[in-house]
Amino acid sequence: MPSTSISKTEYDPDRRTLSVWFVASGKCYQFEDVPPETFAEFRAAFAKGRFFNERIRNRFRYRLVGTANNSG
């Protein structure tokens, strides 16, 4: 099911980095050291925003990496 709060996600299994783009702000954050099992559960979650808030947000180190509008 599409999320109303998360527009896109990408996961790099080698670096264990989860990138999340948010609908409202267009911002992308990278979350570090996310286990592949957590990403698999996130992808399978019916309510992605709820899963993100409960299992990812404030549990993994993160940084702002850009916005959806910075590609030109």
**Beta bridge partners of residue 18, listed in sequence order:** 11, 31
72 pLDDT higher than 60: no
- 71: confidence class by pLDDT, cuts 50, 70, 90: very low
Taking only the tens place, the pLDDT of each residue in 23-67 is 999 999 999 999 999 999 999 999 999 999 999 999 999 999 988
Reported pTM: 0.86
By CB atoms closer than 10 A (0-12, 13-18, 19+), residue 28 is buried
